[in-house]
Chains A and B, each alone.
Chain A
Amino acid sequence: MIASVPALGRRLAPHALPLAMLVIIIAFAVSEPAFLKPDNLIGIVRQVAITGIMAVGMTFVIMTGGIDLSVGPVLALSGVIALFSLDAGVPLPLSIVAGLSVGLVVGLLNGFIVARLELPPIIVTLAMLSMVRGSALLIGGPDLHPIRGHEAYAAIGSGDFLGLPISVHLFAAVTVLMVLVQKLTPLGLLVAAIGENERAARLSGHRTRLTKMALYAICGVGAAIAGIVQSSQVHTASAVYGEFGTELDVIASVVLGGTSLMGGNGSIARTILGVMFLGIINNGMNILNVPIDIQLIAKGVIIAVSLALSEWRA
């Protein structure tokens, strides 16, 4: 039955990512049983929380055919601003708000230029990447700034609650919130509509530009949350965090989750699958002591192969 092989492929293609994950999990579990220990599994989620929060925010942007390359420096700047605020004696909640507002402002700026001035998102956010990194270095300098005496802040990244890291709770909360937004609110439908056909969405009376601005703002705030989690997790803030490659991991997660870079269909829930997939690969290779150079090459190959598999759907 040669004819049934492609037919089987077509049936399995939509599930390519979960299947590939299963294969990799089994492979890792067989070579290193410690992989499946609950502590390690929780560790994986904790490791991906930062990328995950950013990927959730990025999904809507990519669904509209856009992209945000500026998430790395936003992560750095928000951590620096939050820490400097704390050091200046600003109360914790307000310091967090200050950190988050970095993401909000950068996101709104990105959104304004992309939606209002109709410039290509890849160039706009690339320019923004440079400007925000520069601003972060201007404010924070090249040094690491240790977080001392702010126990409550440090707990965000390193504390536990109900037996799970607080960062995992945060990741879950952001995810659930955005899944609900996508599934239950008009915004979710509008994002899909803009991705499918922006002209038609506008001619249907929707404020497409304002919506796109809001989506970039959401993405920026996601990166800022990630920055606060990151700095509190490693007990330092630095203008050089979120180094080159951060945004690529985020984008790869979204795209592995089945969202097309051309815009259109996409799903927050599936983005989480993409995030976990990358996290499992990283973790498994660490456990197996694969050298970092080989890790990077292997990761690239796995991303390319998984994408090729999911393209079979078409």
Chain B
Amino acid sequence: MTTPLIRGRGLGRIYGALTALADADFEVMPGEVRGLVGSNGAGKSTLVKILTGAVEPTSGTVEIMGEPVKLGDPSEMIRRGVACIYQHSNLAPAMSVMDNVFLGRQPVGRFGRIDKKKLEADTRALMAKHGMAIDPLATVGNLPTVKQKEVEILKALALEARVLLMDEPTGWLSAADVARLHQTIRTLRASGVAIVYISHMLDEIFSVCDTVTVMRDGRVIAECGIAEVRRARLVELMVGEKLARDSAAAASVARRPGGTGEIRLAVRDLSKKGVFRDISFDLHAGEILCLTGLIGSKRTELMRVIFGADRADGGSMTVAGQTVDFHSPGAAMAAGIGFVPEDRHRDGLMLGLSMTDNLIMSTIPQVCRSIFLDRSRVAATAKRLVADLAIQPPDVNKPARLFSGGNQQKILVGKWLNLGPKILILDEPTVGVDVGAKAEIYGILRAQRDAGAAILVVSSDLEEVTTVADRIAVMVSGRMVGIHDADAIDRSRLIEEIGGVA
């Protein structure tokens, strides 16, 4: 029997009254890709931080190739060959690939100058060894995101990493790029690197991992080979049985393509020069229309035009039969349209303001009495929304910054519910949100649909699209290429259409 490359025993970490991690055993063999899954707060990131040395555990030990290591020391872990690829890039975008890969350790020639020839040769040799092909002289910032991920991996390999921790590595990648990244991972596995793959995307776990470790409430609750577990069972392990049942039940609710039949939003030949053109579709009251496509297919840009945040060059829109031309988000809101943007930190939340302030942000006139804010109405509105959305903890005065991703997303959805939207647009509503909160957000969307709202969801996550959609629209490079009843198209055909294979 081989020794695990890395093995943690009885790892625990306590913060004051909070136990973030309790008695966790964790090991990865050479050439193994181990998935690590669990809801937000399950203890995954604490475990990862212990393995990278960023956090010192309050109990337990870690061995690398059978030798115990000093914990809580990031440089020691790097020296022992543990590297972590984070969701957000840690590269210097203005520098070349080779400079990034050997950052701070470039070979030095005469007069202390960097030996560019040797640097390039070393980089090429490293790439050849691991089956990657990137121009060593290219500027990192100009590379597509998936190539940047590869540069990060190379950088780790240049440090002779034997254990690669990958935290949500595909957060911003398109489906084709995910496949590419997985191919790279398989090559690494063949060369004996141990990989820990952390993701909310179960599709990816099943596609690339050999084994999976499930965490919940700070504990490792299951470990098994990926072939030994079914998807539904995995979700059940992650979120607990009750939530899993609710989620499964919700998914099986009959789809309602076409909704009530009433056309709530009609878009005709909408165009924006150099961005998208000739977009036409109907959105009905009481249905969820999912708009999917690759990153860069201009879905977000289309949504911004519909919401009045940007202007179109041509085409027309009607809302409930009335021709409209929104020159600002405020005008779109007056027509009953709500919009949850994709990047909740950049475009959605006021992170420093309280949850209450965020919840009332788009419906301030409703909580005013003459020219004054009515504190009691503000408090009542916040309390009602927090209860409707099941936000835990219901701490209305806490800054939005301090809530989990799932709760932040619920706050963003909630602020539009108060408007009583006739049309609700959501752009990637569950990116970085755990499985439990996802199910809850889907529940909220279905409830709005059943109450007669027209819902338009932009999503790259096919699992999400096939779960929540009544109808599915596909965009490729700024054109709308098809709209289907969700039951009438299977996943493989959908993928072909998204990829532009007509």
Interface size, chain B (Cβ < 8 Å): 27
Q: Is A189 an interface residue (CB 8 A)?
A: yes
Q: Is B490 an interface residue (CB 8 A)?
A: no
Rounded to whole angstroms, the CA-CA distance of A151 and B329 in the bound complex is 52
Question: Is the CB–CB distance between B353 and A196 below 8 Å?
Answer: yes
Rounded to whole angstroms, the CA-CA distance of A199 and B341 in the bound complex is 10
Rounded to whole angstroms, the CA-CA distance of A188 and B350 in the bound complex is 14
Q: Is A185 an interface residue (CB 8 A)?
A: yes
Q: Which residues of A contact B373 (CB under 8 A)?
A: 184-186, 188-189
Question: Is the CB–CB distance between A193 and B357 below 8 Å?
Answer: yes
Rounded to whole angstroms, the CA-CA distance of A196 and B339 in the bound complex is 19
Question: Is the CB–CB distance between B329 and A197 below 8 Å?
Answer: no
Q: Is B501 an interface residue (CB 8 A)?
A: no
Which of B307, B361, B365, B415 has the largest count of A CB atoms less than 10 A from its CB? B361
Question: Is the CB–CB distance between B357 and A203 below 8 Å?
Answer: no
Q: Is B4 an interface residue (CB 8 A)?
A: no
Q: Identify which of B329, B352, B371 contacts A203 (C-beta below 8 A).
A: B329
Rounded to whole angstroms, the CA-CA distance of A185 and B353 in the bound complex is 16
Q: Is B372 an interface residue (CB 8 A)?
A: yes
Within 8 A of A (CB), among B350-383: 350-353, 357, 361-362, 364-365, 368, 371-373
Question: Is the CB–CB distance between B351 and A189 below 8 Å?
Answer: no
Q: Is A204 an interface residue (CB 8 A)?
A: yes
Q: Identify which of A186, A203, A206 contacts B347 (C-beta below 8 A).
A: A203
Q: Which residues of A contact B339 (CB under 8 A)?
A: 203
B333 to chain A, nearest CB (A): 4
Question: Is the CB–CB distance between A189 and B357 below 8 Å?
Answer: yes
Rounded to whole angstroms, the CA-CA distance of A203 and B340 in the bound complex is 9
Question: Is the CB–CB distance between A202 and B329 below 8 Å?
Answer: yes
Question: Is the CB–CB distance between B349 and A197 below 8 Å?
Answer: yes
Q: Identify which of B307, B350, B371 contacts A192 (C-beta below 8 A).
A: B350
Q: Which residues of B contact A200 (CB under 8 A)?
A: 341, 346-350, 361
Give the secondary structure class of A's interface.
helix
Within 8 A of A (CB), among B314-357: 328-330, 332-333, 339, 341, 346-353, 357
Q: Which residues of A contact B353 (CB under 8 A)?
A: 192-193, 196
Rounded to whole angstroms, the CA-CA distance of A191 and B229 in the bound complex is 52
Q: Identify which of B333, B350, B371, B415 contacts A196 (C-beta below 8 A).
A: B350
Q: Is B201 an interface residue (CB 8 A)?
A: no
Question: Is the CB–CB distance between A201 and B328 below 8 Å?
Answer: no
Rounded to whole angstroms, the CA-CA distance of A231 and B429 in the bound complex is 58
Question: Is the CB–CB distance between B347 and A199 below 8 Å?
Answer: yes
Q: Is B309 an interface residue (CB 8 A)?
A: yes
Q: Which residue of B lies closest to A265 (CB)?
A: B352
Rounded to whole angstroms, the CA-CA distance of A201 and B357 in the bound complex is 11
Q: Which residues of B contact A134 (CB under 8 A)?
A: none
Q: Which residue of B lies closest to A180 (CB)?
A: B372
Q: Which residue of A lies closest to B346 (CB)?
A: A199
Q: Is A205 an interface residue (CB 8 A)?
A: yes
Q: Which residues of A contact B332 (CB under 8 A)?
A: 205
Q: Which residues of B contact A199 (CB under 8 A)?
A: 346-347
Q: Identify which of A189, A196, A264, A265 contacts B364 (C-beta below 8 A).
A: A189
Q: Which residues of A contact B348 (CB under 8 A)?
A: 200, 203
Q: Is A207 an interface residue (CB 8 A)?
A: yes
Q: Identify which of A204, A207, A264, A265 contacts B361 (C-beta below 8 A).
A: A204
Q: Which residues of B contact A196 (CB under 8 A)?
A: 350-353
Rounded to whole angstroms, the CA-CA distance of A265 and B307 in the bound complex is 29
Q: Which residues of B contact A185 (CB under 8 A)?
A: 371-373
Question: Is the CB–CB distance between B341 and A203 below 8 Å?
Answer: yes
Q: Identify which of B330, B352, B372 contacts A206 (C-beta below 8 A).
A: B330
Q: Which residues of B contact A201 (CB under 8 A)?
A: 350, 361
Rounded to whole angstroms, the CA-CA distance of A204 and B332 in the bound complex is 10
Within 8 A of B (CB), among A180-230: 184-186, 188-190, 192-193, 196-197, 199-207
Rounded to whole angstroms, the CA-CA distance of A196 and B333 in the bound complex is 21
Q: Which residues of B contact A204 (CB under 8 A)?
A: 329, 361-362, 415
Q: Which residues of B contact A264 (CB under 8 A)?
A: 352
Rounded to whole angstroms, the CA-CA distance of A120 and B381 in the bound complex is 37
Q: Which residues of A contact B357 (CB under 8 A)?
A: 189, 192-193
Rounded to whole angstroms, the CA-CA distance of A189 and B350 in the bound complex is 11
Q: Identify which of B333, B341, B361 contacts A193 (C-beta below 8 A).
A: B361
Rounded to whole angstroms, the CA-CA distance of A192 and B350 in the bound complex is 9
B221 to chain A, nearest CB (A): 37
Question: Is the CB–CB distance between B328 and A207 below 8 Å?
Answer: yes
Given A189-B357, A203-B339, A205-B362, A184 contacting B329 (CB threshold 8 A): no
Q: Interface 1/0s, chain A 156-197, versus B by CB < 8 A?
A: 000000000000000000000000000011101110110011
Which of B350, B362, B365, B371 has the largest count of A CB atoms less than 10 A from its CB? B350
Rounded to whole angstroms, the CA-CA distance of A39 and B252 in the bound complex is 79
Q: Identify which of B330, B347, B368, B372 contacts A205 (C-beta below 8 A).
A: B330
Q: Which residues of A contact B330 (CB under 8 A)?
A: 205-207
B124 to chain A, nearest CB (A): 42
Which of B309, B329, B368 has the largest count of A CB atoms less than 10 A from its CB? B329
Q: Interface 1/0s, chain A 13-25, versus B by CB < 8 A?
A: 0000000000000
Rounded to whole angstroms, the CA-CA distance of A294 and B286 in the bound complex is 74
Rounded to whole angstroms, the CA-CA distance of A189 and B354 in the bound complex is 11
Q: Which residue of A lies closest to B334 (CB)?
A: A205
A152 to chain B, nearest CB (A): 32
Which of B353, B362, B365, B368 has the largest count of A CB atoms less than 10 A from its CB? B353
Question: Is the CB–CB distance between B349 and A205 below 8 Å?
Answer: no
Rounded to whole angstroms, the CA-CA distance of A265 and B350 in the bound complex is 11
Q: Which residue of B lies closest to A184 (CB)?
A: B372
Q: Which residue of A lies closest to B340 (CB)?
A: A203
A243 to chain B, nearest CB (A): 36
Question: Is the CB–CB distance between A203 and B372 below 8 Å?
Answer: no
Q: Which residues of B contact A197 (CB under 8 A)?
A: 346-347, 349-351
Q: Which residues of B contact A207 (CB under 8 A)?
A: 328, 330
Rounded to whole angstroms, the CA-CA distance of A113 and B1 in the bound complex is 72
Q: Which residues of A contact B333 (CB under 8 A)?
A: 205
Rounded to whole angstroms, the CA-CA distance of A205 and B352 in the bound complex is 19
Q: Which residues of B contact A203 (CB under 8 A)?
A: 307, 309, 329, 339, 341, 347-348
Rounded to whole angstroms, the CA-CA distance of A32 and B371 in the bound complex is 48
Which of B341, B357, B373 has the largest count of A CB atoms less than 10 A from its CB? B373
Rounded to whole angstroms, the CA-CA distance of A207 and B352 in the bound complex is 20
A195 to chain B, nearest CB (A): 8
Q: Which residue of A lies closest to B368 (CB)?
A: A186
Which of A189, A192, A203 has the largest count of B CB atoms less than 10 A from its CB? A203
Given A204-B329, A205-B329, A205-B333, A193 contacting B372 (CB threshold 8 A): no
Rounded to whole angstroms, the CA-CA distance of A197 and B346 in the bound complex is 7
28 contacts between A and B (CB under 8 A): A185-B371, A186-B364, A186-B368, A186-B373, A189-B357, A189-B364, A193-B361, A196-B353, A197-B349, A199-B346, A200-B346, A200-B349, A200-B350, A201-B350, A201-B361, A202-B309, A202-B328, A203-B307, A203-B309, A203-B329, A203-B339, A203-B348, A204-B361, A205-B328, A205-B330, A205-B332, A264-B352, A265-B352
Known: A184-B373, A204-B361. 15 other contacts (CB 8 A): A190-B364, A192-B350, A197-B347, A197-B350, A197-B351, A200-B346, A200-B349, A202-B329, A203-B329, A204-B362, A205-B362, A207-B328, A207-B330, A264-B352, A265-B352
7 pairs of A and B residues whose beta carbons are closest in the complex: A196-B350, A205-B333, A204-B362, A205-B330, A204-B361, A186-B364, A184-B372
